[in-house]
Amino acid sequence: MSTTERNINFIEQIIEKDLAANTHQGRVHTRFPPEPNGYLHIGHAKSICLNFGLAEKYNGKCNLRFDDTNPEKEEQEYVEAIKRDVHWLGFEWHGEALYASSYFDTLYQWAVYLIDQELAYVDEQNAEQIRISRGSLTEPGEESPFRSRNKEENLALFEKMRAGEFAEGAAVLRAKIDMSHPNMCMRDPILYRIRKQSHHQTGDKWCIYPGYDFAHGQEDAIEGITHSFCTLEFAVNRPLYDWFIEHLPVPCKPRQYEFAPLNLSYTVTSKRKLKQLVDEGIVDGWDDPRLPTLSGLRRRGVPPHAIRQFCEMIGVTKSEGVVDVSMLEYSIRETLNKEAPRAMAVLNPLKVVITNMPEDQQEMLQAQVHPQDEGMGFRRLPFTREVFIDKADFVEVKPNKKWKRLFLGGEVRLRNGYVIRCNEVLKDEQGNIQQLNCTYDPETLGKDPSDRKVKGVIHWVDAASSCPAEVRLYDRLFSDETPDAHKERPFTHFINDQSLTIIYPARVEANLAKALPEKAYQFEREGYFCLDEKMTQQKGHLVFNRTIALRDSWQKLTTGEK
């Protein structure tokens, strides 16, 4: 079969060609290289699924490598969170987790090697001078006055940099390539900077740190990576990546390929911006259920395979675009509709007294855990004289023919239970409805009354056995489709102030007292919800997060669909 017939993506085509030509002795070795300066987000999931997915598909290996060359912004907390998230998505890295910082000795030796080859020099211009002398896209750069230093002098100065004898910013090591190269990346890029900072892995061993370009390709080479995938913005760095691989005594020659990053509508996926939301207290930590972080999605009840399915759906291409967030929502709904256990919860409880039921009577009703999957078993629903229904399911006067729910003098079926009739409405002094007095028809369990049809079915919970619960309804965090694409306003300007609605106390069926955290249940007619363990402990009552509404109400609003 040809590759086009099998419909494989451009990266798979590259790999299959390499395998056919035995380019890397038949090996496929990829890596996922996060910088531990924040939590992983949905964009990273695309890269994880790509790298780990290719290793799985082609019987190869995928490393997890922390690209920890910048000691300023990195923390151990992020390292742990990243490992947890990769595992959660269902992937296992090859061997131990790796750290770019453990190659610092080799990278240092390779820097010395370049000096020795007269391909690197110590520049004592300051950052501003270096910036200006790089030129622009239309003008060539100017050579540094320190560029022609001899190699002995460079070796001695670089050793001084390493020994901490220069102040921060007083000197850098640069590659000697071409100051008038059309690609700005090739105009004597900086290899090492002085940073008098402790590092979370290497402590105080180093006060000089390699830059991204000098580190990344060499790390790939040290690890025997065959295909190094990164997002499109690194395409300009590729000639430099190749230059290092060509000029250094590396043990393997990896190749870099670029793919389009994931951009999602109504979402920001930049660690820096997510960190700002966290630091400014706009959200409740990195795992706030409104964030597109993997820990946020998990806390919201999104199953990992829904994210993998989404990544499969969007595919991998070379052209950048914005993916509609409703595609992610669709994957979540589809997955949960198939597998979420059903339960009943009443968000705005209205008390109903079943007047023809004796006070001490309790009947045990049964309901399927999943309507299409008997294998998921049954659950028990106590039914007593007092139940709660949702305020929205009752009106005193039937407004029109379409109204199938309860009204004074009308009938409705309680889901998984009996048909009830409303005979009386009790109100407080202000006229607010306090209670409904109803009667139930004992002949109607699982079947319609013999002489009439009852079309409406509403959800309910038993008053005595149900539990009070807090329900947190989340909406999109941003009200704008591209919150970080506006030059005149910061992305925080577009925060949706309706992104969180807290309802308390709602009532949930007793079975939900044993709900598993991070596991979504369908609250019938309301949406998918999962227990928030952290909040439940903090607040001392059950707290549920809405994972997603049943239908795409947003779509309805924007398209005017009914």
Question: Residue 509 and residue 199: Cα distance in Å, rounded?
Answer: 51
Nearer to ligand ATP, 50 or 512 (CB): 50
Query: Cβ neighbours of residue 358 under 8 Å, at least 6 residues apart?
Result: 385
Report, in this order, helix, strand and coil percent for the chain, each rounded to 5: 35, 25, 45
CB of 216 to ligand ATP, least distance (A): 9
Nearer to ligand ATP, 255 or 385 (CB): 255
Question: Residue 208 and residue 549: Cα distance in Å, rounded?
Answer: 51
Residue pair 318/531 in contact (Cβ under 8 Å)? The answer is no
Question: Residue 531 and residue 519: Cα distance in Å, rounded?
Answer: 7
Nearer to ligand ATP, 34 or 417 (CB): 34
Nearer to ligand ATP, 56 or 448 (CB): 56
Question: Residue 316 and residue 261: Cα distance in Å, rounded?
Answer: 9
CB of 263 to ligand ATP, least distance (A): 7
Query: Cβ neighbours of residue 105 under 8 Å, at least 6 residues apart?
Result: none
CB of 43 to ligand ATP, least distance (A): 2
CB of 90 to ligand ATP, least distance (A): 17
Distance of CA 478 to the CA centre of its chain: 15
CB of 73 to ligand ATP, least distance (A): 10
Nearer to ligand ATP, 322 or 376 (CB): 322
Question: Residue 404 and residue 454: Cα distance in Å, rounded?
Answer: 8
CB of 384 to ligand ATP, least distance (A): 52
Query: Cβ neighbours of residue 72 under 8 Å, at least 6 residues apart?
Result: 195, 197
Nearer to ligand ATP, 275 or 534 (CB): 275
Nearest-CB residue for ligand ATP: 43
CB of 155 to ligand ATP, least distance (A): 32
Helix (H, G, I), strand (E, B) or coil at 182: coil
Nearer to ligand ATP, 103 or 388 (CB): 103
Residue pair 513/542 in contact (Cβ under 8 Å)? The answer is yes
Residue pair 54/62 in contact (Cβ under 8 Å)? The answer is yes
CB of 41 to ligand ATP, least distance (A): 6
Residue pair 294/307 in contact (Cβ under 8 Å)? The answer is yes
Nearer to ligand ATP, 331 or 439 (CB): 331
Residue pair 543/531 in contact (Cβ under 8 Å)? The answer is yes
Nearer to ligand ATP, 230 or 461 (CB): 230
End-to-end CA distance of the chain: 46
SS3 for 209-260, per residue?
A: EECHHHHHHHHHHHHCCCEEEEEHHHHHHHHHHHHHHHHCCCCCCCEEEEEC
CB of 559 to ligand ATP, least distance (A): 27
Nearer to ligand ATP, 269 or 499 (CB): 269
Residue pair 211/190 in contact (Cβ under 8 Å)? The answer is yes
Token code pair at residue 50? 């790509």
**At residue 225, what is the residue type?**
I
Nearer to ligand ATP, 44 or 300 (CB): 44
CB of 142 to ligand ATP, least distance (A): 31
Q: Tokens 């008390």 — which residue?
A: 351
Nearer to ligand ATP, 74 or 329 (CB): 74
Residue pair 126/145 in contact (Cβ under 8 Å)? The answer is no
CB of 230 to ligand ATP, least distance (A): 5
Token code pair at residue 106? 């080799």
Taking CB atoms within 8 Å and a gap of at least 24, the contacts of 400-408 are: 404/455, 404/456, 405/456, 405/458, 406/436, 406/456, 406/458
CB of 496 to ligand ATP, least distance (A): 21
CB of 196 to ligand ATP, least distance (A): 24
Nearest to 459, CA basis, from 375, 551, 367, 373 = 367
User: Which residues sit at the interface with ligand ATP, rule CB under 6 A?
Assistant: 33-35, 43-44, 46-47, 67, 230-231, 261-262, 269-272
Nearer to ligand ATP, 65 or 174 (CB): 65
